[in-house]
A and B are shown apart, each in its own frame.
Chain A
């Protein structure tokens, strides 16, 4: 019997778990996939928005501004890559310049600091590779970039170390309630809890309707991206937005914390994450409007993610109207990543209204990771002396050692797939996209997990990379 079951281990579920793990209650997180951050969290623009965009007074505006500050603090505490690189919203005509003025005013109202409107010359001076057609920009110095899946991982790892139980491969299939106790049935097991927090992302309406009435509808909007090689990272220092329009924030070009250049997204109604020829062409053309000379031949990966759009037009952060003790955090579209920590805290606040929450006598709220490539020469030598596996480079593009891969496989939330290793230590994230190291990572997974090569997964369940053994060794 748990006090709280959280459904979904995306960035929102992970945030809720992290903050709840500081209290003396029993918390369980149910996740359908075989790893955390497998939905929208791993496939988005990876921007910590400053908060000038959402309409003042909305939940989006509130959680965005608070969330941005919390994210910064969490990344520092939990050793998650975070870079305050700043952002620009650029304009090409009078309409855009009016929009920029509106965004500035709104940003001030929302409490965003250091905003500035720049003219053409000032804009081009800061970002010389921008199109000559640019007329001016809104400069947002506090905008930042992060690795979203790493933040989710860090939050959940810390939560697990504080006693939260994470149940992966548990897809919620039925929810019932009797005598004030929920029973949540998954494909694997049954769980009982007094409270449920629904953080099921694009599935949150369906999950709610397993027990409640229809109160909101989630539709999914696909966004497609390019991720370019480090050789293209110098195209811009900041995240470059175009003026938002009715269809979304538009196509951005941004550095990433891993030193790549990200370009995207478009916005297409779709329920799958397949990239399309048309979609990618659209993104490319739009991005070239901002920075004309991006070398798309240096692209290393395309991906797509789904935004969970709801029919109310604002985040849904409230107790279910039809099911008491069931808290929905739903329809978390952009700026959802930025808002996540604040949404996690909102769940804590809600629970405080239900029962007394007492902080644990001791809990950890920090985390430290070994990132070999970032160590000094002396530190590297010391580490290799302790464990020679840190002296064996497996991923040559990102300089990731065998030691780090083994750490990922035996971590608090063990990596069970090649992409799981990638999300934890960046092996395979570079220009060859695992062409060289994929097989070696597979070998290490086989050895460390004691599995057959035929069981090695690329990512989620069912993505086995090998189909048949050829010979008996």
Chain B
């Protein structure tokens, strides 16, 4: 019988394991489907990791390595090359690996499966279907892990962070990145990546554009992009053609919740991840979740911090903390979602961090938190709020105690 089984050995799983260990849990197991720990960090050879957690700028593999080193010699057990096929509310974990097919029993579970990239089908990009179209992450793996280039003349669809990172990476390896094409009127990536990965290399960013045709029988030969209207419909006459051999897709990430669904965990349609409480507990008591399986983060450091909250949650759960009622958080339409979606009562923490992303670009604005009766219980000022960055507000317990019933988060432009 395990105290906790952590599903996934990426940044979320590693940070959760470390914290569980620190909290004194005895039987801790990480199950990882790949043959090494680290998850997607291993292919992220750029820097930008670790500032929040380790106070130094690290590459992805270095960030993972720090955690792996910390776990060495601890009680944390690791199963590699092992896939979890099913979990259930009784906290049975069905796994498969070269030893066979077996069920493990645990007191608590932390879901840390991460996310996957949306593929071409998700946005139904028309055209031919030869080689040369890759998700940015798949291309990143071929280049950084396997050591092979995927193309020479590149158009990037979508301006998510992996796409931006790959624009720079392909350029540094001698490819010509002709354009980064974003259907929204704003980028979905971090501002620092726009500057460091596009602007510094004179790669044009076409906002409110999308690919309307991919040509080439065996491999991409030409891509046509078009401007789109506010309903994302291509506008005839705005076509621009690029002679290229490669299209990289960076059109969003989707939390991987196939296991959660089968277990009957309630998911949020907006995040596509489990609905969670402030301690990262899901709708099934004893099953916790953290990282990109809950909502897509901007920084691995934020993933790690969330994982620590989940681990703390497991520790408290195993000690038998009683929870009953809850406060629910909702949002107005300019905000995509909040995590957590609920806060347990009684309020037993000094402060509560609320994370969310906005759906459009805001200049100077206030983030408002109102209670059920419309009374404002908190107000946060921001110079700007953008979709590419995860926003965080911290609600002290005293303010939460003032509010009546459920809360709504909204934004008001200054």
Contact = CB atoms under 8 A, between A and B. Distances in A.
Nearest to A373: B85
Nearest to A472: B147
Contact of A467 (B119, B146, B152): B152
Interface in A294-351: 296-297, 299-303
A466 B126 contact: no
B336 to A, nearest CB: 15
Closest 4 CB pairs of A and B: A462-B218, A388-B98, A463-B131, A466-B148
B121 A227 contact: yes
B218 A463 contact: yes
A196 to B, nearest CB: 28
Interface of B: 33, 81, 83, 85, 96-101, 116-117, 119-122, 124-131, 134-135, 137-138, 141-143, 145-152, 173, 212-215, 217-219, 234, 245, 258
A184 B215 CA distance: 33
B154 to A, nearest CB: 11
B150 A391 contact: no
Query: Interface centre among A273, A277, A299, A393, by most B CB within 10 Å?
Result: A277
Contacts of B152: 467-468
Majority DSSP secondary structure for residues of A touching B: mixed
B208 to A, nearest CB: 16
A366 to B, nearest CB: 28
Contact of B124 (A272, A296, A377, A438): A296
Contacts of A377: 101
Nearest to A379: B101
Contacts of B127: 274-276
A300 B122 contact: yes
Interface residues of A, number: 57
B101 A473 contact: no
Given A433-B119, A435-B119, A439-B142, 18 more contacts: A227-B121, A277-B126, A302-B121, A302-B126, A380-B96, A381-B100, A384-B98, A392-B97, A399-B85, A431-B116, A433-B120, A434-B138, A453-B146, A462-B217, A465-B131, A466-B146, A467-B245, A468-B149
Interface in A444-460: 453-454, 457-460
A392 B147 CA distance: 24
A386 B30 CA distance: 26
B147 to A, nearest CB: 5
Contact of B126 (A280, A436, A463): A280
A354 interface: no
B115 to A, nearest CB: 10
Nearest to B128: A274
B337 to A, nearest CB: 16
26 contacts: A226-B121, A273-B128, A274-B129, A275-B127, A277-B126, A277-B213, A277-B234, A300-B121, A301-B119, A302-B125, A303-B129, A381-B100, A391-B97, A393-B96, A399-B85, A431-B116, A433-B121, A435-B117, A435-B135, A435-B137, A439-B141, A439-B145, A439-B146, A458-B130, A466-B148, A466-B149
B124 A473 contact: no
B248 to A, nearest CB: 12
A391 B245 contact: no
B148 A459 contact: no
Contacts of B116: 431-432, 435-436
Contact of A459 (B85, B126, B130, B213): B130
Contacts of A465: 131, 134, 142, 150
Nearest to B97: A391
B81 A392 contact: yes
A193 to B, nearest CB: 31
B219 A462 contact: yes
A471 B142 CA distance: 12
B100 A385 contact: yes
Given A277-B212, A433-B119, A384 B96 contact: yes
A274 B150 contact: no
Nearest to A469: B148
Nearest to B103: A377
A465 B130 CA distance: 9
Contact of B148 (A299, A438, A453): A453
Contacts of A301: 119-121
A203 interface: no
Contacts of A300: 119, 121-122
Contacts of A462: 130, 217-219
Contacts of A73: none
A432 B117 CA distance: 7
Contacts of B214: 274
Contacts of B141: 439
B121 A435 contact: no
A272 B218 CA distance: 12
A103 to B, nearest CB: 31
Contacts of A473: 147
A279 interface: yes
A470 interface: yes
B148 A470 contact: yes
A469 B213 contact: no
A396 B33 contact: yes
Contacts of B234: 277
Contacts of B97: 391-392
Contacts of A438: 138
Contacts of B130: 458-459, 462-463
A74 to B, nearest CB: 29
Contact of A299 (B121, B128, B129, B218): B121
Interface in A263-296: 272-277, 279-280, 296
B228 to A, nearest CB: 11
Given A277-B212, A301-B121, A433-B120, A467 B98 contact: no
B184 to A, nearest CB: 15
A122 interface: no
A470 B131 contact: no
A98 interface: no
Contacts of B125: 302
